[in-house]
């Protein structure tokens, strides 16, 4: 006869965490109240009660100021509010996977979605989930899922679907498919615990290969019931027992191949009693190890430098607590999470997440293990960096600091030095502008032994500029408009980058007015709109225009005035034959000396002053020469018939 115990039999990490927390707090405080049964196992509840863990079925049973443990199944949000009012010290042992569901339904409910929960309607975990959301519906099987999906009022209603962590995977898949076919505004969150999936999958394999299956667990345990149902579907002889005493009253060992599995709330000592009763000497078929050895797996030794995978249990202001499936308590200090100074712990690390880390230090006397996630990231990062170097592929990183020779960026957890000449920043501009920005670059040099990596942003920019230039030269035509950046100024014009290609705006094309230098109109770095007025593709030269026809002062003048119009003009300067006056900015008119007054004058300044504003009549417009003749005299004598003297 062979007896095989499922590797996944017994406490899951969430239950083990709750039990360990209860024992620890009861030992430190003498008495602690558990709101509801910590786990579904009467034997374990009794054992904990003997150690000072009292179970309170209602909040009224908990004294004010007491120490209270929240069970692994979780509780509604309102329970925390009541305990806070009672000034209780709360120790939250909610399974991280269940806490994750609470966060999901809270967020989705706030977005106006109806929450659909697959699970057992009156199960504590489901009741707890309902306490973290608004409107909700609980579905227990495929028939209820079909009836829900057939409701025409729900076809386009916003819905979010979650699962109790111990839901049967097959039931979930069938039910979700039914709803997906009918409901169009749907979000699905697969929240079945990974450990539950593994436990149920192993139960299927074991039941299919056994003559008799023994399922160990409390009759109130939802996940144990699932294991029993799965075993019954694949094995004709299945026993469902809570302990060795109940097994003795039945008929165990009816077959040559015996399989044993247990629910997530079944302690190891009960599994061991059942196993010993069935076969005290039989080696368990589990890689050659016996059952006792398998139970001792949770006491295995961890070694410095070992790579481990665990589940995030809690996140605090100083560290991240990780469950490794061992008795040691494992922590990742925040300084060991990431090399990226901008790394947001709350946004990237959550209870229930699976995380890889390296063992940094083992303290057996304190029962703690210090881990480092960033060292794992660095190991993986070096592989990614080397691959990027070999394939000449683009790497993205965040610049974290500036030094005398350049800047340092973090990519895949690895420090990359980018020399000043390769930053793409002009010599006259500070490299500090790159700090805390995300940049793309190539890896140009790598030395893993010296832990030296060199990168180049400039190469990326050059390639982008070259590609852009090719695109521009293939499509450029006179009249094309571009958004450009002023790159440099000379005495005769401004050079503008139009996207990989430089063109020149001659000083005469910058303004309709007279300017002495381009800096009067634009500055280096300005974003400008320009248009092509000339091309020499053979010599790669582009002439650009900046001033717009709609801004032409002559056009502005013509839109406002005509011959016979009266305008207020400003005296600009005097000549022996008359005075020049500004009509609109950029357009001047001549007031001949004979048109300044209604009587003869020797010189213009006898009647006028520079800067003076006077009214004058437009008596002639020469469009070809862009000249205007003005008369003050015409307004004084009151007629249009006069001759220039």
- The two beta strands, 368-372 and 354-363, are antiparallel
Q: Residue 205 is inside which H or E element, if any?
A: helix 194-208
Are 17 and 272 a contacting pair, CB within 8 Å? no
> Can you spell out the DSSP letters for 376-414?
HHHHHHHHHHHHHHHHT--EEEEEEEEETTEEEEEETTE
State the Cα–Cα distance between residues 114 and 75, nearest whole angstrom. 20
What's the number of CA atoms in the CB half-sphere (13 Å) around residue 544? 25
Angle at 396 between CA 395 and CA 400, to 5 degrees: 125
- Per-state percent for the chain, helix, strand, coil, to nearest 5: 35, 30, 35
DSSP state of 289: B
The answer to whether 125 is a known catalytic residue is yes
**Three-state DSSP class for residue 322:** strand
Catalytic residue among 37, 44, 125, 509: 125
The phi and psi torsions of 351 (rounded to 5 degrees) equal -55, 135
State the Cα–Cα distance between residues 41 and 185, nearest whole angstrom. 40
Are 471 and 521 a contacting pair, CB within 8 Å? no
> Can you spell out the DSSP letters for 574-589?
EETTEEEEEEETTEEE
The phi and psi torsions of 217 (rounded to 5 degrees) equal 165, 165
- The set of catalytic residues is 125
């Amino acid at each position: 006869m062979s007896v095989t115990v499922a590797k996944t039999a017994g406490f899951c990490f969430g239950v083990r965490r709750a039990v360990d927390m209860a024992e620890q707090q009861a030992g430190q405080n003498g008495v602690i109240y558990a709101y509801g049964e910590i786990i579904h196992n009467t034997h374990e509840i009794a054992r904990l009660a003997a150690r000072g863990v009292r179970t309170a079925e209602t909040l009224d049973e908990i004294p004010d100021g007491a120490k209270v443990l929240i069970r692994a199944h979780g509780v509604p949000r309102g329970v925390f509010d009541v305990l806070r009012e009672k000034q209780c010290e709360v120790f939250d042992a909610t399974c991280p996977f269940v806490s994750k569901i609470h966060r999901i339904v809270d967020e989705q409910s706030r977005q106006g979605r109806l929450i659909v929960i697959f699970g057992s309607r009156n199960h504590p975990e489901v009741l707890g989930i309902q306490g973290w959301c608004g409107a909700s519906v609980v579905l227990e099987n495929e028939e209820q899922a079909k009836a829900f999906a057939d409701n025409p009022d729900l076809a386009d209603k916003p819905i979010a679907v979650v699962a109790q962590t111990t839901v049967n995977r097959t039931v979930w898949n069938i039910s979700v498919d039914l709803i997906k076919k009918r409901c169009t505004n749907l979000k699905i969150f697969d929240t079945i615990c990974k450990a539950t999936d593994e436990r149920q999958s192993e139960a299927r394999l074991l039941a299919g290969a056994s003559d008799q299956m023994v399922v160990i667990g409390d009759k109130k345990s939802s996940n144990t019931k699932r294991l029993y149902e799965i075993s019954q579907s694949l094995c004709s002889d299945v026993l469902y027992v809570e302990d060795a005493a109940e097994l003795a009253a039945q008929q165990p060992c009816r077959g040559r191949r015996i399989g044993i599995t247990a629910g997530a709330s079944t302690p190891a000592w009960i599994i061991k009693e059942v196993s010993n009763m069935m076969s005290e000497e039989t080696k368990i078929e589990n890689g050659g190890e016996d059952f006792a050895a398998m139970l001792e797996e949770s006491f295995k030794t961890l070694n410095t430098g070992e790579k481990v995978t665990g589940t995030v249990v809690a996140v605090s202001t100083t560290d991240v607590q990780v469950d490794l499936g061992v008795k040691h308590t494992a922590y990742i200090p925040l300084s060991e999470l990431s090399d990226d100074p901008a790394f947001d712990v709350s946004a990237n690390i959550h209870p229930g997440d699976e995380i890889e880390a390296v063992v940094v230090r083992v303290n057996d006397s304190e029962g703690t293990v210090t881990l480092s996630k960033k060292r794992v990231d660095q190991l993986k990062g070096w592989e990614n960096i080397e691959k990027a170097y070999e394939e000449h592929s683009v790497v993205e990183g965040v610049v974290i600091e500036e030094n005398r020779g350049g800047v340092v960026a973090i990519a895949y957890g690895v420090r990359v030095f980018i020399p000043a000449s390769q930053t793409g920043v002009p010599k006259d501009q500070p490299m500090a502008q790159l700090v805390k920005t995300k940049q793309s670059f190539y890896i140009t040099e790598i030395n893993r032994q010296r832990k030296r990596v060199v990168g180049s942003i400039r190469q990326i920019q050059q390639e982008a500029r070259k590609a852009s230039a090719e695109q521009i030269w293939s499509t450029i035509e006179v009249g094309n408009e571009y958004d450009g950046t002023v790159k440099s100024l000379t005495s005769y014009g401004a050079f503008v980058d139009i996207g990989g290609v430089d063109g020149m705006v001659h000083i005469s094309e910058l303004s309709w007015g007279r300017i002495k230098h381009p800096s009067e109109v634009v500055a280096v770095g300005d974003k400008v709109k320009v248009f092509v007025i000339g091309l020499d593709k053979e010599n790669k030269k582009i002439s650009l225009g900046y001033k717009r026809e709609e801004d032409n002062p002559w056009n502005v003048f013509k839109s406002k005035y005509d011959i016979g119009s009266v305008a207020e003009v400003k005296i600009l300067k005097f000549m022996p034959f008359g005075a020049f006056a500004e009509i609109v900015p950029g357009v001047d008119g001549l007031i001949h000396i004979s048109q300044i007054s209604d009587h003869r004058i020797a010189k213009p300044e006898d009647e006028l002053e520079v800067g003076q504003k006077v009214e004058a009549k437009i008596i002639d417009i020469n469009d070809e020469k862009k000249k205007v003749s003005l008369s003050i005299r015409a307004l004084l004598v009151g007629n249009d018939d006069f001759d220039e003297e």
